[in-house]
C-alpha cells in the first residue's frame, strides 16, 4: 500500500497495517490472507486475480476470512483510493465484511 495512502487513512482514524510494517513483504498472497485473518483485518490488495482465486478457495473449503478489498493498481490516484475506501468503511461493519470480496470500483 502506498505510503501516502497509509498516512491519509491514518490521519482519518483508520487502523492500517501495511505489509512492510509487519514483515510481510515478499510473502505469498495466501500468507497475507492468513495473517490478516488471524489479526481480524480486512486485506486490501491490487492483486485482483490472486485474491479472487483465494476468496473462491476459502468459500469452497468453507474457511473464513475477515474480508478482501481489491483494486487495479493504476486505476485510481491516492485521493480516489482513500475516498472509496472511506466510503466502504462507512458502509460496512467488520461483521459485514467477513468472508466478503469487495471491488473498490463499486465504491464510487
CA distance 88 to 100: 12
Cα-based distances in Å from 98 to 5, 27, 55, 74, 88: 23, 23, 11, 27, 13
Burial 75-108 (b: 16+ CB within 10 A, else e): ebebeebbebbbebbeebeeeebeeebbebeebe
Cα-based distances in Å from 59 to 64, 72, 79: 8, 23, 32
Reported residue count of the chain is 108
More confident residue, 2 or 55: 55
| pTM for the whole structure | 0.94
pLDDT (tens digit, 9 = 90+) per residue, 54-72? 999 999 999 999 999 999 8
pLDDT (tens digit, 9 = 90+) per residue, 72-99? 877 788 999 999 999 999 999 999 999 9
Amino acid at each position: 500500500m502506498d505510503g501516502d495512502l497509509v498516512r491519509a487513512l491514518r490521519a482519518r482514524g483508520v487502523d492500517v497495517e501495511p505489509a512492510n510494517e509487519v514483515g510481510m513483504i515478499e510473502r505469498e498472497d495466501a500468507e497475507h490472507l492468513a495473517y490478516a485473518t488471524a489479526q481480524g483485518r480486512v486485506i486490501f490488495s491490487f492483486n485482483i486475480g490472486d485474491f479472487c482465486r483465494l476468496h473462491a478457495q476459502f468459500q469452497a473449503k468453507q474457511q473464513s476470512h475477515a474480508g478482501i478489498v481489491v483494486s487495479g493498481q493504476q486505476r485510481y490516484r491516492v485521493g480516489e483510493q482513500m475516498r472509496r475506501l472511506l466510503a466502504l468503511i462507512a458502509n460496512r461493519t467488520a461483521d459485514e465484511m467477513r468472508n466478503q470480496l469487495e471491488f473498490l470500483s463499486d465504491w464510487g
